[in-house]
Structure 1
Amino acid sequence: MSGLETIKINFFIKKTKLLKNGEAPIFVRIIINKERDEYGLKQSILPKQWNESKQFVKGNSDQAEKINQLIELHRTKIQSYFNFMTMDNQPINPRILKEKMVGKKETRRTILKVFQEHNDNARKLIGIDFAPDTVQRYETCYMHTKDFIRWQYKREDIALEDLNHQFVRNYELYLKTERKCAHNTAIKYLKNFKKIVRIALANGWMKKDPFATIKFKLKPVDAVYLTKEELDTLINKDISMERLRQVRDVFVFCCFTGLAFSDVKSLKRQHITTDSNRITWIHKKRTKTDQMSTIFVIEAAKKLMAKYKNEPELIEKDAVLPVLSNQKMNAYLKEIGTICGIDKPISTHTARHTFATTVALENNMPLEVVSKTLGHSSTKMTQRYARTTEALISKNMEKIANLY
Structure 2
Amino acid sequence: MQTSQSFGIHFTTRPDKAKDGKEPIYACVTVNRQRAYIALKQNVDPKNWDSGKGTAKGNKDEVKSINNYLEEVRLAIGSSYKELQLKRKMLSAKAVKDLYLGAEQEVYSMSRLFSYHNESSTTDLKWSTLKHYYVTQRYLIKFLNIQFNASDIYLHQLDYKFVKDFEVFLRNHKPKDHQKPLNNNGVMKHIIRLKKMVNLAHNLQWISNDPFATYKLKIQKVNREQLSEVELKAIEEKKFGIERLEMVRDMFVFCCYTGLSFVDVSNLEPEHIVTGADGDRWIRTCREKTLIPVIVPLLPKALTILDKYKDNERALYDGRVFPKISNQKVNSYLKEIADRCDILKNVTFHIARHTFATTVTLSNGVPIETVSKILGHTKITTTQIYAKVVERKLKEDMKMLQSKLSH
TM superposition score normalised by structure 1: 0.79
The verdict on how the C-alpha distance between 1:388 and 1:195 changes in structure 2, with shifts beyond 3 A counting, is: closer
CA distance in 2, matches of 1:10, 1:176: 40
CA contact (8 A) 2:315 2:324 kept: no
What residue is the counterpart of 1:313 in the other structure?
Answer: 314
CA distance in 1, matches of 2:356, 2:43: 82
Picking from 114, 128, 132, the partner of 2:127 is 132
CA contact (8 A) 1:247 1:323 kept: no
Using the TM superposition, give the Cα deviation of residue 28 of structure 1 relative to its aligned residue in structure 2, in angstroms.
Answer: 2.2
CA contact (8 A) 1:118 1:196 kept: yes
Picking from 146, 158, 163, the partner of 1:168 is 163
Whichever residue aligns with residue 303 of structure 2, its letter is: K
Whichever residue aligns with residue 329 of structure 1, its letter is: V
Using the TM superposition, give the Cα deviation of residue 29 of structure 1 relative to its aligned residue in structure 2, in angstroms.
Answer: 1.8
Alignment of 1:155 onto 2:139:
no
CA distance in 2, matches of 1:372, 1:236: 29
1:177-188 to 2 correspondences below 5 Å: 177-178=172-173, 180-188=181-189
What residue is the counterpart of 2:49 in the other structure?
Answer: 51
What residue is the counterpart of 1:302 in the other structure?
Answer: 303
Whichever residue aligns with residue 11 of structure 1, its letter is: F
Whichever residue aligns with residue 368 of structure 1, its letter is: E
CA contact (8 A) 2:38 2:97 kept: yes
Using the TM superposition, give the Cα deviation of residue 107 of structure 1 relative to its aligned residue in structure 2, in angstroms.
Answer: 5.2
306-315 vs 358-367, which moves further: 306-315
CA distance in 1, matches of 2:276, 2:171: 51
1:27-66 to 2 correspondences below 5 Å: 27-30=26-29, 36-39=35-38, 50-54=48-52, 55-59=54-58
CA distance in 1, matches of 2:143, 2:12: 40
CA distance in 2, matches of 1:219, 1:60: 69
CA contact (8 A) 2:50 2:57 kept: no
Using the TM superposition, give the Cα deviation of residue 110 of structure 1 relative to its aligned residue in structure 2, in angstroms.
Answer: 0.9
What residue is the counterpart of 1:20 in the other structure?
Answer: none
Using the TM superposition, give the Cα deviation of residue 327 of structure 1 relative to its aligned residue in structure 2, in angstroms.
Answer: 2.1
The verdict on how the C-alpha distance between 1:349 and 1:57 changes in structure 2, with shifts beyond 3 A counting, is: same
TM superposition score normalised by structure 2: 0.79
SS of the counterpart of 1:354?
A: helix
327-336 vs 363-372, which moves further: 327-336
SS of the counterpart of 1:157?
A: coil
1:1-400 to 2 correspondences below 5 Å: 10-12=10-12, 27-30=26-29, 36-39=35-38, 50-54=48-52, 55-59=54-58, 94-95=93-94, 108-123=107-122, 125=123, 129-178=124-173, 180-400=181-401
Unaligned runs of 5+ in 1: 1-6, 17-23, 82-90
CA distance in 1, matches of 2:326, 2:236: 21
CA distance in 2, matches of 1:387, 1:233: 24
CA distance in 2, matches of 1:296, 1:14: 76
Task: Give the paired residue count.
Answer: 373
The verdict on how the C-alpha distance between 1:232 and 1:92 changes in structure 2, with shifts beyond 3 A counting, is: farther
The verdict on how the C-alpha distance between 1:217 and 1:339 changes in structure 2, with shifts beyond 3 A counting, is: same
Using the TM superposition, give the Cα deviation of residue 164 of structure 1 relative to its aligned residue in structure 2, in angstroms.
Answer: 0.9
Whichever residue aligns with residue 393 of structure 1, its letter is: L
CA contact (8 A) 1:314 1:320 kept: yes
CA-to-aligned-CA distance 1:198-252 (integer Å, 9 cap, x gap): 1111111111011111131421110000000000111111213222221111111
Whichever residue aligns with residue 296 of structure 1, its letter is: P
Pairwise CA RMSD:
3.9
Using the TM superposition, give the Cα deviation of residue 121 of structure 1 relative to its aligned residue in structure 2, in angstroms.
Answer: 2.8
Using the TM superposition, give the Cα deviation of residue 291 of structure 1 relative to its aligned residue in structure 2, in angstroms.
Answer: 1.8
SS of the counterpart of 1:225?
A: coil
